[in-house]
Amino acid sequence: MLRVILVGYGELASSLMLGVLESKHELVGILRWEKTKSNKLLFFLKNIFWPDQLSSLIKANKISEIEAESINSEKFIKKALKLQPDVIIIGSWGEVIKKNTIILPKIACINCHPSLLPKHRGSNPYASTIIQGETKSGITFHLVNEKLDEGPILLQKEIVISNDDTGGSLRTKCSYTAKEAIKELLEGLENARFLPQKQNEKEASYFPQLTENDAKINWNSSAQSIYNQIRGLNPWMKCYTRYKDQFFMINSSKIIDLKKPVHKPGKILVKSSDDLLVSTADPKKAILLKNIEIYGFLGKLLSRFYIRFFVKTGNFLGK
């Protein structure tokens, strides 16, 4: 039986925790990202009144929480040494892990990255894989080194990306896959079945943290690219485009085939309530922008009124 410390946050960490609990191995401690960065009083109140899945699992299973301001802190290292872990598993984290932490466990410090490394290194591979038009993704368990997502690979599982997937639904798929795969990982580590495989740097890609510019729609792009952008950023960011002195926030979209080609991208072809059909760089494909909201206070309430009385077909977005 392996002794496991889990480090992480969100849906991925919750799924990894469930996987460890369902295995024969022992979860001896957990360090949550929120606990290292949040105001202590606000964190306490959130746990009482608005607990997330991870905090609920910790309470239900009476898992020991590690109190530390960083995974690289002396406080974490001292606590980890007392817990004597065989493995440290990381599922979503916001720091580069340093050597003094990496060498703590008896067997290995392992990261679960939600992409098929070496592709899509970085903080949000859920979004980047969809935005880049990938048709498959997955999870990668790899040894941690002092570089971001570059350690040797132990285990990978592939996931199919459907054309309807969003960043959020892909995150759920990856998390479920990780929950099942960690059982295989721990069993393999216990029985020394894995031979770490060095990542192929020629195939590597890295995508930095998302910014506001990533959500701006470029109407000179293809319909598929715009569609991928909108669904890939969901639920973290809403894509936006300009119309005169207003900004429209887009909740979802759909590609529409046109009977007659339109050669001017960004042209409003049809409007209805809070939807707009807009031409793209593909003359025979338009994109239906659905559930549009005007940016700003009361924007959601005023959107239908504004589109009905102020938006005109034939005008252009993005100008």
* CATH number where 150 lies: 3.40.50.170
Residue 246 and residue 201 in one domain: no
- 51 pLDDT exceeds 80? no
Q: What is the pLDDT of residues 245-300, one digit of tens each?
A: 999 999 999 999 999 999 999 999 999 888 999 999 999 999 999 999 999 887 88
For the purposes of burial, counting CB atoms within 10 Å of the CB of 292, is it exposed (0-12), middle (13-18) or buried (19 or more)?
Answer: buried
Please give the span between the terminal C-alpha atoms of the chain, in angstroms, as a whole number. 62
Tokens found for residue 312? 């005109």
For the purposes of burial, counting CB atoms within 10 Å of the CB of 72, is it exposed (0-12), middle (13-18) or buried (19 or more)?
Answer: middle
The CATH number assigned to the domain holding 261 equals 3.10.25.10
How many Å apart are CA 111 and CA 114, to the nearest integer? 10
Using alpha carbons, list the distances in angstroms from residue 268 to 265, 275, 292, 319. 9, 10, 13, 12
Tokens found for residue 208? 């930095």
The per-residue pLDDT for 56 is: 86
- 34 pLDDT exceeds 90? no
Print the domain residue range for 138: 3-206
- Higher-confidence residue: 160 or 36? 160
Do residues 119 and 205 touch, judged by C-beta distance below 8 A?
yes
The per-residue pLDDT for 273 is: 83
Give the end of a domain, one of 154, 173, 206: 206
Residue 87 and residue 24 in one domain: yes
Please count the structural domains in the chain.
2
Residue 165 and residue 292 in one domain: no
Residue 315 included in any domain: no
Residue 202 and residue 225 in one domain: no
Give the end of a domain, one of 206, 233, 260: 206
Percent of the chain surpassing pLDDT 70: 95
- 47 pLDDT exceeds 80? no
Element (H, E) at 285: strand 285-290
Give the end of a domain, one of 161, 191, 206: 206
Residue 81 included in any domain: yes
Element (H, E) at 85: none
Q: Note the pTM of the prediction, 2 decimals.
A: 0.93
Residue 248 and residue 293 in one domain: yes
